[in-house]
Every structure is written in structure tokens, then in C-alpha cells.
Amino acid sequence: MKVRKAVIIAAGWGTRFLPMTRTQPKEMLPLVDKPLIQYAVEEAINSGIEQIIMVTAIAKRAIEDYFEPSFELENFLQKKGQTRLLKKMRELSNMADITYIRQKEQLGLGHAVLTARGLVGNEPFAVILPDDIIDARKPALKQLIEVFEPRQGSILAVERVAPADLNKYGIIKAGRISGGVARVLGLVEKPEPAQAPSDLGVVGRYILTPAIFDAIAQTPPGRNEEIQLTDAIALLLADESVYAHLFKGIRYDTGFPLGLLKANVSMALKNPDMRTELREYLKTVLKNETI
């Protein structure tokens, strides 16, 4: 079956960015010249996704408004003759077919995915976590879809994790890696380094079969009393094959302030309109650094 739908999870509180996220959704924080959520939507579109299901929460209305037409703004830009900006705004509101659904309680990533069950139906689907920005020549999600197509089994994006960071990720036990793909033999959510089965951590891109919904429904609350998607995938292993893919690209974890700052600097240095001036500015800052 073809992967036609993507579930983008945008339901968290964003507590690591408080007080900024008290009224502003974390997913609307800027990365160079676009909010984080737009990168997720663009990756889905560029990977061939036809329908996007956005799982949001209370106080996330700004995300929905961002992708809706703004007739007042468009009228203003038209009167001012700002045709380039007008074209950009219209492209934004016509970018994708997006359906929104709310996670009414913050019960974990697994629960957030489960809320989309009625909209996904009985077909494979993608999951994107907007915190993980992946800069890749070929979109990371498209890489996963290409791995899925001949196998028709769930695919997890993984990368090698430093020992000190193993307890921040779901860590897989992997079979033999061939062409960047391995069978998943087991999964542990945020283990201590001594208990980690490998150094391969799951990051925010998944292709999942619809069987995951029953697995999530059977998954009891785990770490932090939340329903963990990692635990549900571990249950799924008993019934079907799951694969891991070492994607090609650079991942930026924008889920905390320093990570977002690093991503902004790195991505801006690739922007032809900014890189020269920014590079010179950074040289000046480093030259004057006294700490």
C-alpha cells in the first residue's frame, strides 16, 4: 500500500520554552524565516504525502490560523503592490490539505497518535515530530517511504546517539544493518547507558502500519505515566516486522532553546541572503568573546 497520509504531532505544552510558549505554540517559534511547523508540512508535501492530519491541543489555534487564507492581509499587500509577498501568502494557504484534531489530554506521544485513528483509517501512515528538523538532500520522510514500499512494514528513523544521551531516546536492538536498514528486534524507552541495547536512537520520523493503533490501545502508561509510542511499537514486534533506517541528513533537535539556537545559526549560514553578513558577525562575536 502507498503512504498517503502524515500525522504531525503538535500537541505538547512546550514547557522548556516557558514563558515564551505561555501564549505562543512552540511549533510557531521561528527557524530562520519560517515557523518550525512549516518545515514539517513542507517535508510531508515534498515526500509525496497527500493529506496531513495535525494533532494539536488547547491554545494552539495560531497553527490553524497560520495555514488559513488571510484575506485582509492579502488585500493590504495587493493595494501596496507587494506582489511577491502576496504570492507567497497565497501559496502558504494553498500548500496542503490539512485536517486538525485535538488531543484533549496530554497523555503521551502514543496517545496523540491514537487520536488520529479515525482520520487515518486502515492504511499505513507517516508520523512527523516537528521538534526534529532534518536537513537532507532527499527529505528524511521520503527516505523512509522508499524503505517502506518493498517491505510494507513499519519503519523507524534512527541515528547513532552519544553514550551520554542514550537516556533521552527510544533505543532499538537491531539486527544486521544492510544498506542503512535493519530489523528491529527490541525497543527500550530512554534506558540508562548500561542497559541500552545499542547506540541507535529513534528520532521524529516514522512510517507505521494501522496495526499500531491496536497496539497503542493495549499499551499501559509507561515512563512519566504517559502512553509511549515506543512501548506500543515494542508490542507490535510480536505480530509483524518492524525496520529501522539510518537516514541521511543532519538532524537538529529544536525542542529546547539551545537546540533551536544552533539550528537557526546552521540553517541561516546556508541561506544565500544571510550567510555572508552572519558569518562576519559571528567572527566578530567570537573575536570579542572574553569568557
Percent of the chain at pLDDT exceeding 70: 99
Q: What would the CATH number be for the domain defined by 5-255?
A: 3.90.550.10
Number of C-beta neighbours around residue 104 at 10 A: 11
For the chain, what is the total number of helices (H) and then of strands (E)? 11, 13
Q: Burial of 280 by CB count in 10 Å (0-12 exposed, 13-18 middle, 19+ buried)?
A: exposed
Backbone phi, then psi, for 92, in 5-degree steps? Answer: -60, -45
Cell of 213: 493503533
pLDDT tens digits for range 170-221: 999 999 989 999 999 999 888 898 889 999 999 999 999 999 999 999 998 8
Helices (H), the chain: 36-46, 61-67, 71-80, 83-93, 109-114, 117-120, 140-151, 211-217, 229-236, 257-268, 275-288
* Interacting residues of 92 by C-beta distance below 8 A, sequence separation 6+: 38, 66, 67
Strands 5-9 and 51-56: parallel
Q: pLDDT category, 290, cuts 50, 70, 90? A: low
Compute and round to an integer the Cα radius of gyration of the chain. Answer: 20
Please choose, from the candidates 239, 184, 185, 243, the residue with its C-alpha nearest in 3D space to the C-alpha of residue 215. Answer: 239
pLDDT of residue 213: 97
pLDDT tens digits for range 223-243: 778 899 999 999 999 999 999
Cβ atoms of residues 69 and 93 within 8 Å: yes
pLDDT tens digits for range 38-49: 999 999 999 999
Question: Residue ranges of the domains in the chain?
Answer: 5-255, 256-291
Please choose, from the candidates 204, 111, 197, the residue with its C-alpha nearest in 3D space to the C-alpha of residue 156. Answer: 204
Whether residue 128 is predicted with pLDDT greater than 70 in this model: the reply is yes
pLDDT tens digits for range 48-105: 999 999 999 988 899 999 998 888 998 999 998 999 988 988 888 888 889 999 998 8
pLDDT of residue 59: 83
What angle (nearest 5°) sits at the alpha carbon of residue 74, between those of residues 69 and 78? 155
What average pLDDT score do residues 282-290 get?
83
The mean predicted confidence, pLDDT, of the chain is: 93
Number of C-beta neighbours around residue 259 at 10 A: 17
What average pLDDT score do residues 117-123 get?
96
Whether residue 27 is predicted with pLDDT greater than 70 in this model: the reply is yes
Backbone phi, then psi, for 139, in 5-degree steps? Answer: -50, 140
What average pLDDT score do residues 155-166 get?
94
